[in-house]
Amino acid sequence: MRNNHEIDYRIFGEEMQYVEVELDPNETAVAEPGAFMMMDDGISMETLFGDGSQQQNNSIFNKLLNAGKRMLVGENLFMTAFTNTSVGKKHVSFASPYAGKIITLDLQQLGGKVICQKDAFLCAAKGVSIGIEFQRKLGTGLFGGEGFIMEKLEGDGMAFLHAGGFVQERTLQAGELIKIDTGCIVGFTHTVDYDIQFVGGIKNTIFGGEGLFFATLRGPGKVWIQSLPVSRLAARILSYGTYKRKEEGSVLGGLGNMLDGDGW
C-alpha cells in the first residue's frame, strides 16, 4: 500500500525521450515547470508553491521553508500539478530537456529515499517530497561537483530523473567502492556513502585534464551514472563557438578551412 499517488507510465524514444504518465480519476503527477509536453482533455493544471507533497505541513511558514529549500538546489519555487478530474484514465507526458535517458525510480523499492544531482529531477507522483540533502563531509562540499547541497526524493511513489548520454545502473555490494567523475553521478540510494578523493601525482594534477578530485561511492546500494553530463556538453559547445583558427602566416590555414568545409 502506497501513501503517494500510484501512477502507471510508459517511456518513449531513444536519445530524446519522454515519459507518458497514466492517471486514474483524482490521481496527480507533479513536474518541474517547462517539463510539460502534452496531455489529454480532462486533466487540470495547478501551480503549487513547493512540491505539493502530502508529508509537508500546510502552514505558510513550512510552505515558505519548503520552497526556499528548492531554491537552494537550483529548482523553481513553484511546481505544476496535473490531476485527472474526469472519468476514465487520462495521460500526460513530460519531455527530456536534452539528449539522454529517463531513469525510473520506484522509491518504495529503493528504501524510500534517493539522493540525486540538483538538475536531475523531471517529474513524480504527487506525495513524493523533493528537498535538499546536505553533504556532511567538508571535502565533498569544497571539491565535489555538486557542492554541499544535493537533491533528495523521499516517499513511496514513482519518480523520474533525466540524465545525459547513456545511463548505467550499478548495484554496489557492502564495502564495494567505485571512483567516478563528480559530474557523472546522477543519483544514489541513501545507503551509499559519498566522498571526494584527491587524484594524486604531480603529472596527473598538471597534465591529466580530469580535475584534481573525483567522487568515491561505497556500497551497499544502487548508483546511477551518466556518460555525458550537460555541463561537459555545454563546455565543449562553448569551446567550439569561441575558438578561432589563427590563419595569419600559416600555409595550411586556408587549406584547413577548406577541409573543414568553411572555405566554400
SS (H, E, C) 216-234: EEECCEEEEEECCCHHHHH
Categorize the per-residue pLDDT at 132 as very low, low, confident or very high, splitting at 50, 70 and 90.
confident
Please indicate, yes or no, if residue 255 is contained in any of the structural domains: no
Query: Which pLDDT score, from 0 to 100, does residue 259 have?
Result: 45
Please give the average per-residue pLDDT across 3-29, as a whole number: 93
Comparing C-alpha atoms, which of 47, 1, 3, 6 is closest to residue 159? 6
Residue 245 has pLDDT above 60, yes or no: no
Contacts of 88 (CB under 8 A, 6+ apart): 25, 42
The phi, psi pair for 12, rounded to 5°, reads -115, 150
Mean pLDDT over all residues of the chain? 79
Q: Say how far apart CA 27 and CA 228 lie, in whole Å.
A: 34
Comparing C-alpha atoms, which of 151, 161, 109, 115 is closest to residue 4? 109
Identity at 264, one-letter amino acid code:
W
How many distinct structural domains can be found in the chain? 1
Please give the average per-residue pLDDT across 224-246, as a whole number: 75
Q: Say how far apart CA 85 and CA 96 lie, in whole Å.
A: 26
Please indicate, yes or no, if residue 250 is contained in any of the structural domains: no
Structural domain range at position 25: 8-242
Please indicate, yes or no, if residue 134 is contained in any of the structural domains: yes
Please indicate, yes or no, if residue 145 is contained in any of the structural domains: yes
Query: Which pLDDT score, from 0 to 100, does residue 249 have?
Result: 46
Lookup: cell for 225: 551514472
Query: Which pLDDT score, from 0 to 100, does residue 9 have?
Result: 95
- Chain length of the chain: 264
Residue 148 has pLDDT above 80, yes or no: no
Please give the average per-residue pLDDT across 67-96, as a whole number: 79
Strands lying side by side in the sheet with 43-49: 43-49, 78-84, 28-31, 121-125, 158-164, 100-106
Please give the average per-residue pLDDT across 22-44, as a whole number: 94
pTM of the model: 0.78
Please give the average per-residue pLDDT across 101-109, as a whole number: 95
Q: Say how far apart CA 211 and CA 139 lie, in whole Å.
A: 14
Residue 66 has pLDDT above 80, yes or no: no
Q: Is the pLDDT higher at 56 or at 112?
A: 112
| Residue 141, domain CATH | 3.60.160.10
Please give the average per-residue pLDDT across 152-168, as a whole number: 94
Residue 247 has pLDDT above 80, yes or no: no
Please indicate, yes or no, if residue 110 is contained in any of the structural domains: yes
Please indicate, yes or no, if residue 252 is contained in any of the structural domains: no
Categorize the per-residue pLDDT at 92 as very low, low, confident or very high, splitting at 50, 70 and 90.
very high
| Nearest 10 degrees: Cα torsion 207, 210, 216, 222 | -150
Q: Is 190 exposed, middle or buried (0-12, 13-18, 19+ CB in 10 A)?
A: middle
pLDDT tens-digit profile of 211-222?
567 888 999 999
Please indicate, yes or no, if residue 259 is contained in any of the structural domains: no
Query: Which pLDDT score, from 0 to 100, does residue 29 have?
Result: 95
Percent of the chain with pLDDT over 70: 70
Categorize the per-residue pLDDT at 255 as very low, low, confident or very high, splitting at 50, 70 and 90.
very low
Q: Is the pLDDT higher at 195 or at 107?
A: 107
Please indicate, yes or no, if residue 253 is contained in any of the structural domains: no
CB 121, CB 63: distance < 8 Å = no
The highest-confidence range among 53-62, 137-146, 156-165, 254-263, by mean pLDDT, is 156-165
Longest Cα–Cα distance of the chain, Å, equals 74
pLDDT tens-digit profile of 165-204?
999 999 999 999 999 988 899 999 999 998 887 766 555 5
Please give the average per-residue pLDDT across 89-103, as a whole number: 93
